[in-house]
Amino acid sequence: MGRLFHHKCYIIIYTSDVFNQFMDGKGKFKEEVSNDLNGLLSLYEAAYLGIPGEDLLDEALDFTRSHLQSLVKHIGPSLARKVKHALEAPLRKRMTKLNARLYIPIYEEDTEAKNDVVLELAKLDFHILQLLHREEVKKISMWWKDVGVPTKLTFARDRIVELYFWILGVYFEPQYSRARMMMVKVISMVSLMDDVYDSYGTMVELQHFTGAIQRWDFKAADEMEECLRVAFLAIYQTMGELEDEVLKDGKLYRIDYLRREFSQFEKLAIVYLEEAKWRDECYVPSLAEHLELSIKTSTLNVVACASFIGMGEIAGKHSFDWVTSFPQIIKDVSKLSRLMDDVGGFEVDAKMGRKHVVSTIHCCMNEFGDSLEEAKARLLHLVEDAWKNINKECLHLTIPSALLARVVNSACTMETIYRKIDGYTEPSLLKNSISLLFVQPI
């Protein structure tokens, strides 16, 4: 049942009474619980649905994780794969389609539990969707080539397939094909802006670039340095394409929200400019100061709004009003995204010699005197707190669950891309996952 509720983006409220049956007289989990492998796995997965203040679920997580790590050494290879899969990442934090691809072979080996009809259906479903996703990758890659970023802007990351992989985590279903294509275009422009401010322009050039975006001034491109001119025109023309696409739906109010989306780019440009000042002045802010600003540059507010635009009738005015208000759950996902990016990308950036804006890792080292490992541990603890807040928000939000799922799925995608490394900046680290979804048959 926990998996069903997770799929529908609801959270089960576990009361103390439910867990009392697993406790001994001293308030500890009974050791005999550890003899039930499936029960341990279910309790382990349920523990990740906790909200702030649920200490019992924290204890359940420690108990189940410890016993599963011990048991994996003493069980057969099929069950061991199942346990290792769970320990690597819980269902709550996994990309749905990638998890299906990884889990189907595990399910196939489980001779006691598998159903051959269900297995065949799962494989057929994956194959059909894989064909669709391959075709979408081809189309978006051709569009990206036509935009000219790979050839004209060599400082920018050429990661269109990785961006599509990201959006596939937000929604993989066939009915959202058009939405995916629109959203990849939005996020590719956000990535381009990130590279312009983070890795290319001088302060004077960036101030001029920011002013052009604030005014949305097409003619201002003529006064820019060549690379910045190409970048600005790519953003300007892509936003025009998206506006034309939305007009096809005949819902004029969505144009207003799309224009509000444009205003987010204007605000984003101002925030990027502030981060660029930190870089050039070698300023190390406090962790709180960094998060206050960097949550805005995670762009999850932009991504969430863009994900609604192609969602069809279910995304009404109320939902757009909600998503453009920068609600708490999007702030939490943005915080999670920023922290995971910094933890996963710190050593990659250092290895590549990128003159990067100071990260939250630097903030922890400077403010608290942390070592690298201590800083990572501190930030990962904040990531877990963010997940608990996300779970709490899911309890009472009234927007349609199909829309809420896009926001939560963004968090799952961030976990996948940045769990151990920065898989976006260093794409070879995501190569296997991308191959599993788009290349390898099942």
Per-residue pLDDT reduced to its tens digit, 298-331:
778 888 888 988 888 898 889 989 988 889 999 9
Q: Over pLDDT 70: what percentage of the chain?
A: 87
Rg for the chain (alpha carbons), in Å? Answer: 23
- Confidence band, pLDDT 50/70/90 cuts, at residue 261: low
Q: How confident is the model at residue 348 (pLDDT cuts 50, 70, 90)?
A: low
Can you give the pLDDT at residue 29? 77
Domain chopping of the chain, boundaries: 2-93, 136-438
pLDDT-derived band of residue 10, with 50, 70 and 90 as boundaries? very low
pLDDT of res. 279: 80
Exposure string over 151-183, b if 16+ CB within 10 A, otherwise e: eebeebbebbbbbbbbbbbbbbeeebbbbbbbb
Range 150-153, long-range pairs (CB < 8 A, 24+ positions): 152/227, 152/230, 153/192, 153/195, 153/227, 153/230, 153/231
Q: How far is CA 217 from the centre of its chain?
A: 32
Q: What is the mean pLDDT of residues 132-140?
A: 98
The domain 2-93: what is its CATH number? 1.50.10.130
pLDDT band at residue 351 using 50, 70 and 90 as cut-offs: low
Average pLDDT over the chain reads 86
What distance lies between CA 231 and its chain's CA centroid?
A: 25
CATH 1.10.600.10 is held by the domain 136-438: yes
Asked if pLDDT for residue 13 goes beyond 80, the answer is no
Question: Please, which pLDDT band fits residue 347 given cuts at 50, 70 and 90?
Answer: low
Question: Which residue did the predictor score with more confidence, 312 or 179?
Answer: 179
| Length of the chain as a residue count | 442
Distance CA 300, CA 335 (A): 9
